[in-house]
């Protein structure tokens, strides 16, 4: 069950706070358990940040509102991410850094987050370049916060779906300023990526380009959007794909996946 409210509920038994940052907007989902039904519910909110200097203030306000929550999980949207087989890295963080630099050629040193999906065949390792302002703002207010990689969360969803079909499953979390992607085939992690453009044509191009690089035809692809999408994005994708579904009934499903 979910609610679109942005404030805590009088029936609250807090279970967790889930935060996302896309470079201009902070989004959050507060999960609580209904004292009557014992079902988990979600309360959502978002706040635009016009100047990066405002970011710590926005996070501090969330700390004041949700101070009773013990579990805090946070992520970045549309972040530069590299996926590498575990056998290549051999638990070597320096090797992970080299692969990240090879794929993205950053102009300056950035902090990295490394997530190893050990329960998945091939044990893919995700390496993400961090936004220092976001990291610092969250950690100062929520010392217990656990950072996760958005594309790794999407990949776990894609893998779960792909185990039930022979199709190439692409999970897409789209927003106003971009999209995150994860693709899986028969339980294997195949591709992850992001777009820094939120228009439908750019999002479609990212998926089609990844298909062509992997030699996949459009009739061999299942598209899964994490949440309800607009008519324009739906119409653009329907020009190419026949198997399209939305996961969940709200636009916040991608944020809710951080609670899994």
pLDDT above 60 (res 53):
yes
d(CA 11, CA 33): 8
pTM for the full predicted model: 0.91
125 with 49, same domain? no
> What rounded mean pLDDT belongs to the chain?
91
Mean pLDDT of 208-233: 95
- The predicted structure's pLDDT at residue 129: 96
62 with 86, same domain? no
24 with 138, same domain? yes
- The predicted structure's pLDDT at residue 81: 95
Mean pLDDT of 165-170: 97
More confident residue, 40 or 231: 231
135 with 125, same domain? no
CATH of the domain at 231: 3.30.420.260
108 with 158, same domain? no
154 with 142, same domain? no
Q: Which domain holds residue 89?
A: 80-130
Share of the chain above pLDDT 70, in %: 94
140 with 156, same domain? no
Q: What is the DSSP letter of 124?
A: E
Closest C-alpha to 31, from 76, 75, 73: 73
- The predicted structure's pLDDT at residue 10: 47
d(CA 153, CA 257): 7
d(CA 89, CA 67): 39
* Domain count for the chain: 3
Reported as a single tens digit per residue, the pLDDT across 6-45 is 444 544 567 899 999 999 999 999 998 776 766 778 899 9
User: What b-and-e string marks burial along 8-23, b requiring 16 or more CB atoms within 10 Å of the CB?
Assistant: eeeebebbbbbbbbbb
- The predicted structure's pLDDT at residue 39: 76
Residues 6 or more apart whose Cβ sits within 8 Å of residue 170: 158, 181, 182, 183, 207, 210, 221, 222, 223, 224
115 with 156, same domain? no
53 with 105, same domain? no
More confident residue, 75 or 105: 75
155 with 254, same domain? yes
């Amino acid at each position: 069950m979910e609610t679109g409210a942005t404030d805590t509920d009088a029936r609250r038994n807090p279970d967790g706070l889930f935060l996302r940052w896309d470079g201009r907007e902070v989004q959050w989902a507060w999960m609580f358990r209904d004292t009557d039904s014992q079902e988990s519910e979600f309360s959502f909110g978002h706040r635009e940040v016009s100047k990066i200097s405002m970011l710590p203030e926005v996070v501090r306000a969330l700390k004041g509102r949700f101070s009773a929550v013990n579990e805090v999980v946070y992520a970045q949207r549309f972040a530069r991410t590299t996926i590498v087989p575990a056998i290549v890295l051999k638990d070597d963080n320096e090797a992970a850094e080299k692969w990240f630099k090879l794929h993205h050629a950053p102009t300056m040193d950035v902090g990295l987050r490394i997530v190893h999906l050990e329960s998945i065949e091939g044990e893919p390792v995700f390496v993400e370049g961090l936004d220092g302002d976001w990291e610092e703002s969250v950690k100062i207010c929520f010392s217990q916060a656990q950072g996760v990689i958005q594309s790794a969360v999407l990949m776990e969803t894609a893998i779960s779906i792909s185990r039930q079909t022979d199709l190439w499953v692409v999970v897409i979390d789209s927003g106003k300023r971009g999209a995150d992607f994860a693709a899986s085939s028969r339980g294997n992690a195949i591709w992850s990526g992001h777009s820094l453009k939120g228009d439908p044509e750019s999002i479609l191009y990212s998926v089609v380009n990844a298909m062509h690089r992997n030699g996949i035809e459009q009739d061999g692809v299942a598209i899964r959007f994490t949440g309800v999408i607009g008519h324009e994005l739906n119409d653009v994708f329907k020009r190419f794909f026949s198997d399209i579904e939305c996961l969940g009934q709200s636009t916040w499903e991608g944020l809710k996946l951080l609670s899994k």
